[in-house]
Amino acid sequence: MKQFKGNIAILGSGNIGISLAKGLVKANYALPGQISLTRRNIANLSPFAEQGFGVSHDNAAVVAAADIVVLAVLPQQLNQLLDQIRPVVDLNKHLFISVASGVSCADIRNKLGAEAQVIRAMPNTAIAIGQSMTCIATDNASSEYMEEVTRMFETVGSVVKINEDLMTSATALCACGIAFFLRAIRAASQGGVEIGFHADEALKMAVQTAKGAADLLLQMQSHPEQEIDKVTSPKGCTIAGLNEMEHNGFSSSLIKGIKLSATKAGALYTKE
C-alpha cells in the first residue's frame, strides 16, 4: 500500500472514526503519528495516544495541521463542529470527507465555503473488522481526490462510487442493512432451536451458513437465484421452506423495510 504523505484529522472518534483510523494504520496507508483523533471527552482516547495517534478536543487546531479532514460526528452534532473549524479552513489545502448520514456535500459547503472539496462516504459497522461496504460520492471533488478516498476506504473493506442522490439509499441498503441481515441470522437460529439445536449451536450454524452464502456470491460472482436453483430439487424440502417464507412475505418485507429506512435516512440531519 502506497503510504499517504500528509496528515489526517478524524473529527469525532467514535465507532466509525476509530475503526477507520485502525484500518488506515493496519493497511499501512498512514502511520499513527499522521492521524489526529478528536472528541470532546478525550479520556476515552488515551489508549490511542499511547499507540502514537494525535489526540485532542481542539477540532480547529487539528484541522489547521491536516490535509484530509474526516467528519465523523453524528448528523445532529455536525453544524456545531463545522462552525468551530470554519475559521481555519484552507480551501486550497483541505479535502473534507463526511460520513454523516443525510448531510449533503452542498450542506457542508454552505457552512465551510463554496469552494470546499467534499466527498461523502457511507460505511457500515463491519468497518471494525475491515469488512465494510462503503459507498462514496461527491458533487465537486476532483477525480484524484475520489481515487485517494477510494484507497482510504479500501483499507477497511469494499468501495463503490455512486451518485450523491443515491447516498440515502446507500445508507438504508448498506449501513442499516447490517442490522437486517443480522436479524435474518437471528431468526434462522431461532428456527434452528425449534427443530432441535441448542441456542449456541443453532447460532453458530446460522452464522456460518449466512457467511457461506455471501462468500458463494462474492467468490463465484454468481446471482443468488443461480445458487438457490442448486439447492432446490423438485418436490424437495428447500423449495417447500423457501415458498412458505415467501407466502409469509419474506422478500416483500425486506424490500418494504429497506424503502422505509431510506425515507427515514433522508430526514436525519436538521439544518439550522
Residue numbers at the binding site for ligand NAP (CB under 6 A): 11-17, 38-41, 59, 72-75, 77, 80-81, 99-101, 122-125, 175
79 is annotated as contributing to ligand binding: no
Can you name the residues that pair with 160 across neighbouring β-strands? 135
User: CA torsion angle for 81, 156, 265, 223 (degrees, to 10)?
Assistant: 170
Nearer to ligand NAP, 7 or 192 (CB): 7
- The answer on whether 63 is annotated among ligand-binding residues is no
The 3-state DSSP class for residue 176 equals coil
Residue 38 or 189 having the CB closest to ligand NAP = 38
Q: Which of 36/189 has CB closer to ligand NAP?
A: 36
Residue among 95 and 99 whose Cβ is closer to ligand NAP: 99
Q: C-beta of 272: minimal distance to ligand NAP in Å?
A: 15
60: which residues sit within 8 A by CB, 6+ positions away?
A: 84, 85, 87, 88
State the CB neighbour count (10 A cutoff) for residue 206.
20
CB atoms within 10 A of CB 142: 12
Tally the C-alpha atoms within 13 A of residue 86's C-alpha that lie toward its C-beta: 14
* Nearby residues of 3 by Cβ (< 8 Å), 6 or more positions away: 28, 29, 30, 31
CB of 1 to ligand NAP, least distance (A): 23
Cell of 257: 423495510
Q: What is the phi-psi region of residue 32: left when phi exceeds 0, alpha when psi lies from -120 to 50, beta otherwise? A: alpha
Cβ closest to ligand NAP, residue 233 vs residue 263: 263
Residues in the chain: 272
- Is 28 annotated as belonging to a binding site? no
Q: Which is nearer to ligand NAP, 15 or 190 (CB)?
A: 15
99 appears as a binding residue in the annotation: no
Q: How far is the CB of 97 from ligand NAP (least distance, A)?
A: 11
CB atoms within 10 A of CB 247: 8
Does the annotation flag 73 for ligand binding? yes
Name the minimum Å distance from CB 200 to ligand NAP: 26
DSSP code per residue over 13-59 = -SHHHHHHHHHHHHTTSS-GGGEEEE-S-GGGGHHHHHTT-EEES-H
How far apart are CB 159 and ligand NAP at their closest, in Å?
13
Q: Which is nearer to ligand NAP, 35 or 175 (CB)?
A: 175
Residue 54 C-beta: closest distance to ligand NAP, Å:
13
Minimum CB distance to ligand NAP, residue 63 (Å): 11
CB closest to ligand NAP, residue no: 14
Q: Which residues are annotated as a binding site?
A: 59, 72-75
Q: Which residues are annotated as a binding site for NADP(+)?
A: 72-75
Q: Which residues are annotated as a binding site for NADPH?
A: 59
